[in-house]
Structure 1
Amino acid sequence: MTDFVSLNGPDNCGKSTQVRALANGWEGFCDLGPVHRHDPAPWGRVSGKGYSTWWFTTSTTEELTHMLFSGHETRARARPPDRIGILDRGWYMLLATAVATCTVKESLPLDAAWTRVLSLLGTGEPRPPELPILLLPSLDTERSIAIAQRREERPWSGVYLDYQRHLHRVLLKMVRQGVFAEVVSGQTHGIDATHDLVRQALIAHGVGVPPTIRHSAKNGRFP
């Protein structure tokens, strides 16, 4: 039985919108949201005006990785026993986030950053198991970033743009490794079309999803 479904992807790919649409459309789902919702104290201490500086400069790879995955473990424990927890960024997405940040922060090659983060986790498998779905505007890194920037209506630059490029490369490496149950990609997919593809993917993997309510909203995200 599937206890957790995760929606993953870079900024502005529609993760939070699809999580809410699934949770609002079927009582069998429980929207567990992002990790900072379940471990607010450490995130509250670093959020605010200096958040980006803390994320990419001040924090250590050990500190950031611990915060991400400690929140993930707490979030998993919040799942009601009779419902499927929907994760806004699951285990693999948190891994991709930590690896891409490590690559930028420590000026490491991607594979070296990957090895470093996995050594901190002590495992290469999600804990607890989840059904991960990846939402990606395009399988081409630069095209995907361009689409995401247009959706945000502001340019990315400097360390943040560098981070986004590394994040896309990590996610595409994971695609090649076959870690995602489904990859939903295509810049022409609107919210409703993406939602239908997500539902079809869940049904194909044995997660029955009745017709759902569709709506659009945005909330906070990691860098």
Structure 2
Amino acid sequence: MQKVSFSGLDHSGKSQQIRMLVHDSPQLFHVTKPLTEYSQRWPKLEGPEMSRWWFETVSVEELTDIIIESLNRRNEDQYEGKITVLDRGWRMFKAVCVATWLTIEKVEIQEATAETTRRFLTKLDYEPSEFEILLVPNAKYLRSVEPARCLLSSDVNVFPQRMRQRYARYQTYLQEAVKDCFASPPPRRIEVDAPILEIQNRARTLLNDAYDLQLPHIGDTALMVVGFGGLSECGKSSFAEHLRVHHGFYRLKLRYFIECVESRGEKATPERVAMELLHFFQRHYYVQHFSIESLHDPYIPAFLKLMLGKRFKIVYLDVDKETRCRRAALELGVDSSVACAIVEGKDHTKLDRGANTVCQIADVVFDNSSESLRDNLGRFESLLF
């Protein structure tokens, strides 16, 4: 039975690439469960408690045996007629064992590798055969997208400093172990030096060549996507309408895609909402330019930036409160005090969601306070195109 494994250092995007791969081709692939679901010897722990068990409670020998037992059972998890997709291949888990050994014990990598290899040879009850894809992080690229990555990191403040320092050591050892464990035969390497969609399409090209598939590249037709953020009455709709009329942009409302996800009983995570948008782009392949209103928090735009890269432009329209109240009064035909109350109410909701923090990751922060819309749009075009 054919098996494809995605391996790489932590946070290199393995699981994400697998979800994206099977999203539009579930009939072709069977994705196995997390390794911890293949043995009852795994504790039901998360976060700091799991870290404590992994590095302080269980012995390295026992941990390695649990991993091998789980790999044996995972190997039986197959679906007739489908390609089995593994989140981390057997060599990746071997590297995990070596790195854990180095983190806990004062041994050389040769000793840790030799002991891990001995246990794998003795206890792994199948002959591994995987089409291995190794995701290799590019440090320069990852630094360039660090603001967006940090926004989406859920465990920054969960672990105490001691555990974070230990995890950093583990990652250093894991990098060495991966280099050693994947030395021969070499896997198919994909350097993570581009947005998520680009990495996905490279993986699809490898799989098409290996299995004579016809997986389409995704997201290629959306050449430019502009997302508008800002507080109430800052001009988001006016700017989006200008792009539609004068530059052929297709206007989208972000709330619609959030509701699409929620209508399935799912939580509207940044990744799920982004995938819903991507599905729309795919179905409207003949449209090359889109605008999105409104970016009410920084998390969805951060993920879209990671997914689309430079094709996604985050625009934050900055307008002082007095001007926004005056515009609301004119638009609604009410006096200034009523308009200010309406603006403040809307602002309160948006600020609770973090709408004002979108400016921290924006490609363009535009001062739209001037009363001349024509002049403002002219200046805006010169910055955007």
**TM tier, shorter chain?**
0.7 to 0.9
Q: CA, structure 1 residues 66+136, in 2 after alignment: closer, same or farther (shift >3 Å)?
A: same
* Aligned match of 2:75: 76
* Aligned match of 1:85: 84
Give yes or no for the alignment of 1:162 onto 2:174.
Answer: no
What is the rounded CA distance, in whole Å, between the counterparts of 2:110 and 2:102 in structure 1? Answer: 9
Unaligned runs of 5+ in 2: 220-269, 273-385
Which whole-Å deviations, capped at 9, do the CAs of 1:141-191 have from their partners, x for residues lacking one?
xx69968986355498421110000101111224443431x111133x111
Measured after TM superposition, the shift of residue 216 of structure 1 is 3.6
* Aligned match of 1:220: none
Q: Is the 8 A contact 1:12 1:148 kept in 2?
A: no
Structure 2 counterpart of 1:164, one-letter code: Q
* Aligned match of 2:93: 94
Q: CA, structure 1 residues 12+113, in 2 after alignment: closer, same or farther (shift >3 Å)?
A: same
Q: How many residues align?
A: 210
What is the rounded CA distance, in whole Å, between the counterparts of 1:147 and 1:36 in structure 2? Answer: 33
Tell me, what secondary structure is at the counterpart of 2:32? strand
Q: CA, structure 1 residues 12+44, in 2 after alignment: closer, same or farther (shift >3 Å)?
A: same
* Aligned match of 1:205: 210
Query: What are the residue-to-residue correspondences of 1:17-56 with 2, within 5 Å?
Result: 17-26=16-25, 27-39=27-39, 41-47=40-46, 49-56=48-55
Q: Taking every aligned residue pair, what percent have the same amino acid on both sides?
A: 26
State TM-score, norm by structure 2. 0.49
* Aligned match of 1:12: 11
What is the rounded CA distance, in whole Å, between the counterparts of 1:119 and 1:144 in structure 2? Answer: 37
Structure 2 counterpart of 1:171, one-letter code: V
Measured after TM superposition, the shift of residue 61 of structure 1 is 1.6
Structure 1 counterpart of 2:29, one-letter code: F
* Aligned match of 2:190: 184
Measured after TM superposition, the shift of residue 24 of structure 1 is 2.2
Structure 2 counterpart of 1:166, one-letter code: Y
Q: CA, structure 1 residues 123+206, in 2 after alignment: closer, same or farther (shift >3 Å)?
A: farther
For CA contacts below 8 A with separation 6 or more, give which structure has more relative contact order: 1
* Aligned match of 1:116: 115
Computing the radius of gyration from Cα coordinates, the structure with the larger value is 2
Which whole-Å deviations, capped at 9, do the CAs of 1:84-110 have from their partners, x for residues lacking one?
110001101101101100111112111
Q: CA, structure 1 residues 119+80, in 2 after alignment: closer, same or farther (shift >3 Å)?
A: same
Q: CA, structure 1 residues 5+148, in 2 after alignment: closer, same or farther (shift >3 Å)?
A: farther
Which whole-Å deviations, capped at 9, do the CAs of 1:41-71 have from their partners, x for residues lacking one?
3223454642112111221122111111211
Give yes or no for the alignment of 1:3 onto 2:9.
Answer: no
Q: Is the 8 A contact 1:104 1:159 kept in 2?
A: yes
Tell me, what secondary structure is at the counterpart of 1:211? coil
